[in-house]
């Protein structure tokens, strides 16, 4: 299957992300990390 169809979606997501204020980007990345830890019991070592 061609991956060309996904390119516009990827570009749109990148565009949306780029115009987002940095503070909101931090909140979204934080939320994504919490979601990964909670949903998949992801263990992050130190």
What are the residues binding other proteins (CB under 8 A)? 14, 18, 21-27, 29-31, 33-34, 37-38, 41-46
CB of 8 to other proteins, least distance (A): 13
SS3 string, the chain, reads CCCCCHHHHHHHHHHHHHHCCHHHHHHHHHHHHHHHHHHHCCCCCC
The token pair that represents 13 in the structure block: 């997501």
Q: Would you say 1 or 30 has its CB closer to other proteins?
A: 30
CB of 36 to other proteins, least distance (A): 9
């Amino acid at each position: 299957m061609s991956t060309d169809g996904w390119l516009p979606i990827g570009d749109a997501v990148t565009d949306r992300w780029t115009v987002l204020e940095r503070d909101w980007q931090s909140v979204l990345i934080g939320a994504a990390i919490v979601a990964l830890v909670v949903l998949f019991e992801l263990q992050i070592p130190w």
